[in-house]
Structure 1
Amino acid sequence: MITSRLLAGSIAVLALAATAACTKNDEASWPTKPVRLIVPFPAGGSTDVVARLIAERLGQKLGQQFVVDNRPGAAGNIGTDQVAKAAPDGYTLTLTTSGPLVNNKYLYKSMPFDPAKDLTPIVLVGEIPLVIVSTDKVPAKNLKEFIALAKAAPGKYSIGNPGNGTIGHLAYELLRHNTGTQFLGVPYKGDVPAMADLMGGSIQAISAPITAFIPQIQAGKMTGLAVTSKKRFPQLPDLPTAIEQGFDVEAAVWFAVAGPAGLPRPIVDKLNREINLVLDSPEGRSKLEQFGALVGGGSPEQLDTLMKGESEKWKRIIEQANIKLD
């Protein structure tokens, strides 16, 4: 009886050891089949284009196809949720944005996943800072002068944004809160109608991602009042940051690669290393710059820290402004 028990115990230990060894071998040899990279937005956008470059380069380096799968809907929640609910084996990943990774949790009453609990951060890909722009119809050459004008005439100066709950809207609320200035916020359905009204004089400024406004500012058709990044934007070196002008306003839309919770560390490290190499290449930098994005990179821990910090900041602003999308 004792011998039988000892034999059974030995078999169990050997089975566990064999399972652990197989798991380690699987992780070391990953990937052994095609990997799905879900982009929770339509094809053709900046996130999709960058995802396809990364997928192509990963496929070339790791010897398996990385297939970009567009799953748009619910401000990125639908596609990101598919990754959150996938098996943590490295064969379902996402290149998603700060909306599903941070902001949407506070904008929607019900979320199908919790990004902090259901996803594994892998690497920050890039970030697009916001810009606050005006025209020569407003006698302000920078944000400091614009704030002074608005404080002297509360409620007179309006700032448009690309839509309710967008990062442009959140940045407007952050600006309003941190400067104690009474603006009139005007949401639009995208950048284009907001730009038309700005040029026509219906609104006095816009808060939105910088990409669409770079050529307008460079051509002198619009006045850049401030960029909302830590440092000046390389393509517009003469445009000061909001922080430089004395206003604690920092905002960006950023995008990152993530996997399901529980993704093995060897797979995370392999992905992080290879994607960093893509981002640091001339081709990677050029592709990001094409969309007005600053190159990301760094460790999974740095992305995790970013997600936590952004979560705290935008939770406070969203609750104070009572912004809801459903």
Structure 2
Amino acid sequence: MKALTLLATTAIAFGQFSAAAYAQAPAQNWPDKPVRLVLPYPPGGNVDSAARVISEQLQQVFKQPFIVDNKPGAGGLIAGEQVAKAAPDGYTFFMGANGPILFSPLIFRRAAYDWKKDFTPVGSVSFTPLLLQVNPKLPYKTFGEFLAAAKSAPGRITMASPGAGTTNHLVSEYLQSATGAKWTTAHYKGNAPATTDLLGGQVDFNFDQLSVAQPFIAQGRTRALVVTSAKRLPSLPEVPTLAESGFPGFSAETFTGVMAPAGTPKDIVVKFSAALQKILADKAVQDKFVNLGAEARGMTPEQFGQFLAKEDAQWTQVIKASNISAE
């Protein structure tokens, strides 16, 4: 009996030691099963394309599947809330963009999550300039002609937005406020359906990421009037910037990045971030993003957190001043 008691005590002690050892260094064992990257958009858009590039590379690094899980809807709140409530064990992450990560709770008037409290930044992935493109059947050849038409007939011109609170939408609202032009905005669940309706002529224009718009412009299926980058784009040298078109100093871009549920062990976050930065520094991976019209650019968790705070402060002002709401 004493021998059995001693054996049981030893087993319990060993189990406690093993659990404590894992708790102290969970990254040594992470990942030992598939990891989910939850996305707030359907397949085919900017975030989805970036996720599929890095998921393939992460799988090679960690020898475990990194599954892209598309959960569109409510401006990203569905995906974001799911990850915010997920176990902080390093197996569920939120990969989103400006709107879903930062602004959707404010715009949808629902405190589903707060990025500063409910998430831990892991790192940035890509940065993509936007452009204003119109259906080629429209007569506008310049940004000036477009604005003049939007001023002369307020609300007649229609815009496809990939969702309330996205950079695409915020740039649109900023320009309406700054110029006095007015158009009607139709919100979609992501870039893909918005682009489909633009190509089909159901809407007149959109602000879209270069990564999505580039092939359609090359095919003549849309016409670019202006870009939001600080400088003209090498792939579209004839298209002026907003800074050149009466908005000096203005620039805007869509970022994609990875967030972990708050409470995820720091060493897992650091391990994931380090792998991500190494992947994004690889020339072959950078070339893939260039082909998508984006720039691969990794940040540490601390750098990404500082970047998010700056973006939050800048664009929250636009949201409040324009009274942007999905309601």
TM-score of the superposed pair, with normalisation by structure 2: 0.77
Instruction: Tell me, yes or no, if the aligned pair for 2:118 and 2:262 is still in contact at 8 Å.
Output: yes
TM-aligned CA deviation for residue 289 of structure 1:
3.5
Aligned to 2:314: 313
For residues 250-283 of structure 1, what are the alpha-carbon distances to aligned partners after superposition, in whole Å with 9 as ceiling and x for unaligned? 3333221110113333222221121122223344
Confirm whether residue 35 of structure 1 aligns to residue 35 of structure 2: yes
Secondary structure, counterpart of 1:226 in structure 2: strand
Cα shift at 1:175: 1.4
Residues 69 and 104 of structure 1: is their aligned pair in 2 closer, same or farther, counting only changes over 3 Å? Answer: same
Measure the CA separation in 1 of the matches of 2:76 and 2:155.
35
Counterpart for residue 65 of structure 1: 65
Per the alignment, do residues 185 and 294 of structure 1 end up closer, same or farther by CA in structure 2, a change over 3 Å counting? farther
The alpha-carbon distance between structure 1 residues 312 and 193, as it changes in their structure 2 partners (threshold 3 A), is same
Matched with 2:266 is 265
Q: Distance in 1 between matches of 2:150 and 2:28?
A: 60
Q: Could you give the per-residue CA deviations for residues 50-94 of structure 1, whole angstroms, max 9, x where no partner exists?
A: 323323322322233333333333232222222212232322222
State the match for 1:291 in structure 2.
292
**Equivalence for 2:240:** 240
Correspondence for 2:195 among 191, 202, 206: 191
Change (3 A) 1:41 1:150: closer
**Ranges in structure 1 where 5+ consecutive residues have no aligned partner:** 1-15
Q: Supply the AA of the counterpart residue of 2:182.
A: F
Q: Quick one: which amino acid aligns to residue 30 of structure 2?
A: W
Q: Given that residues 36 and 67 in structure 1 are in contact (C-alpha distance below 8 angstroms), is that contact kept between their aligned partners in structure 2? A: yes
Instruction: Look up the equivalent residue of 1:303 and give its one-letter code.
Output: F
- Decide whether the 8 Å contact of 1:154 with 1:181 is kept in 2: no
For 2:114 and 2:210, the matched residues in 1 are separated by: 29
Whether the 8 Å CA contact 1:150–1:183 is kept in 2: the answer is no
Using the size of structure 1 for normalisation, the TM-score is: 0.77
Give the distance between the partners of 2:44 and 2:140, measured in 1 at CA: 38
CA contact (8 A) 1:167 1:208 kept: no
Please tell me the residue identity of whatever aligns with 2:181.
Q
Q: Which amino acid aligns with 1:193?
A: D
Between the two proteins, the alignment pairs up a number of residues equal to 305
Q: Secondary structure at the residue paired with 1:276?
A: helix
SS at match of 2:243: coil
Kindly tell me: are residues 183 and 30 of structure 1, through their superposed partners in 2, closer, same or farther at Cα, counting changes over 3 Å?
A: same
Q: Provide closer, same or farther for how the CA distance between residues 162 and 73 of structure 1 changes in structure 2, counting only shifts above 3 A.
A: closer
CA distance in 2, matches of 1:100, 1:37: 14
- What is the SS of the residue equivalent to 1:69? strand
Q: What CA distance in whole angstroms lies between the structure 1 residues aligned with 2:45 and 2:225?
A: 27
Q: 2: distance between equivalents of 1:280 and 1:269?
A: 16
Match of 1:8 in 2: none
Matched residue type, 1:23? A
Look up the match of 1:4. none
Q: Which amino acid aligns with 1:187?
A: A
Shift of 1:304: 1.5
Structure 2 CA distance for partners of 1:91 and 1:185, relative to 1, 3 Å: same
Q: 1: distance between equivalents of 2:145 and 2:215? A: 22
Aligned match of 2:191: none
**SS of the residue 2:314 aligns to:** helix
Shift of 1:98: 2.1
Amino acid at match of 1:272: S
Quick one: which amino acid aligns to residue 197 of structure 2? P
8 Å Cα contact 2:150-2:156 kept in structure 1? no
Instruction: Check whether the contact 2:140–2:146 (CA below 8 A) recurs between aligned residues.
Output: no
1:219: Cα distance to partner? Answer: 5.1
CA contact (8 A) 1:147 1:181 kept: no
User: Residue in 1 aligned with 2:181?
Assistant: 182
CA distance in 2, matches of 1:26, 1:186: 47
**Where in structure 2 are there 5+ consecutive unaligned residues?**
1-15, 189-193
Match of 1:187, SS state, is strand
